[in-house]
Structure 1
């Protein structure tokens, strides 16, 4: 089931940018432009996670965080803030925020924090995935083949993570596009082939035994050497 994220951000350009990036990661996103909108939407839509700007028109993000917690909403809250002083961080955490990201921030950092917080709400999902001599750590975002550290880009990591979540299962191109790139992907039609090839090169650099196999006319599968 797709996780639903409520984004409370009054800057329309920033909100659209963040929402687009989250959508590409497969999340369902609702945008609230004010604190009061955020409060009502949180009650109505019951999101899985809230991203909350500190500086909002009307009630502040800090006050909104307090109100959400007082109304019994216990989903993870990540605050976006330009305030980086220790007292400000403490105030945010005391208001009930689970994490904060300081502006300006990289989208990769925000995505990593979103994934980490949502993972804690899905305790059945392991932090470390493995298959044969391949190991992927979701928390540190490190990948090893045997004892060899493999350097991957963010999207290569996401693709490998999806394959490791479904070992020996043939995954279609549509399934991979939906889960790794998002429903609205409009890029190159051969994007999956490009990333599979890049993954194979890196994974087989010191071990030629192939783990990612092509199932012609269908898609790809992670299975034993062969």
Structure 2
């Protein structure tokens, strides 16, 4: 079989701000991180102690329990899960307190998204964990770390949004992904994006990854959405369609 689904990195995100939590989830999941949110300090602490997470990302100003106290309790319980504090509190004493309470890193908001991703991957390397794995569907492979894609041995140049749309399909190879699902993952729900914007990016992807090699990787499922398939699946689908077509 030429297809595999990479194991996503489990991230516990503890954040009061629901829109920010959604934006982080939307941005991080195409990079190979699976986000599980908690919206207050006490529930976040319970999940941190009971769950098996690869990373914890938390704010300082949380309802019920501060991020500083949470870090201290997690470390006191013997948990070594890498933790990154993401906070608007940017004073030197705030940062020092966060690191002294047990956090491994501290990133001040607003931040560049690419920096957040790099910090999370650095934490994983330091803890001996592996970074998010790439994906492979037929001879099409992608690397979330560098946002690069290859068709066989030839690299295909994609924009960041094109890569994100392709990665969204690659997470469920051979399965239908709807337009609303893609928009929800890549754009904010409140952005008002029309579903037709997905068609624009899919059309661009087909020109870049399929047309040059005369293959079909992105299949339209009418009334449902799109799915990413291998060449073998595409040929099988075409043959089945041809056989069943009326003469």
Q: Are residue 29 (structure 1) and residue 37 (structure 2) matched?
A: yes
1:221 alignment counterpart: 227
Instruction: Give the TM-score taking structure 2 as reference length.
Output: 0.60
Secondary structure, aligned partner of 2:136 = strand
Cα distance in 2 for partners of 1:173, 1:193 equals 11
Cα deviation, 1:99-152, whole Å, max 9, x if unaligned, reads 44344412354356568879xx9x899612122332211223222223224232
2:149 alignment counterpart: 143
2:113 alignment counterpart: 107
Cα distance in 1 for partners of 2:138, 2:66 equals 50
State the Cα RMSD in Å: 4.5
5+ long unaligned stretches in structure 2: 1-7, 30-34, 236-247
Cα distance in 2 for partners of 1:160, 1:57 equals 37
- Deviation of residue 21 (structure 1)? 0.6
Cα deviation, 1:159-196, whole Å, max 9, x if unaligned, reads 222322333x2314167338734895653132322221
- Deviation of residue 55 (structure 1)? 7.9
Q: Which has the higher helix share?
A: 2
Cα distance in 2 for partners of 1:116, 1:204 equals 34
Structure-to-structure mapping, 1:16-95, within 5 angstroms: 17-24=19-26, 27-32=35-40, 38=41, 40-46=42-48, 48=53, 49-53=55-59, 61-62=67-68, 64-80=70-86, 82=90, 92=99, 95=101
Which of 152, 175, 178 is matched with 1:173 structurally? 178
Instruction: Give the TM-score taking structure 1 as reference length.
Output: 0.64
Secondary structure, aligned partner of 1:171 = coil
The verdict on how the C-alpha distance between 1:126 and 1:65 changes in structure 2, with shifts beyond 3 A counting, is: closer
Question: Contact (CA 8 Å) 1:83, 1:102: kept in 2 or not?
Answer: no
Cα distance in 1 for partners of 2:188, 2:20 equals 16
Q: Which moved more, 1:123-132 or 1:158-167?
A: 123-132
The verdict on how the C-alpha distance between 1:97 and 1:183 changes in structure 2, with shifts beyond 3 A counting, is: same
Cα distance in 1 for partners of 2:210, 2:61 equals 48
Which of 189, 198, 212 is matched with 1:192 structurally? 198
Which structure would you say has the larger Rg?
2
Count residues in correspondence: 207
5+ long unaligned stretches in structure 1: 9-14, 33-37
- Deviation of residue 59 (structure 1)? 8.6
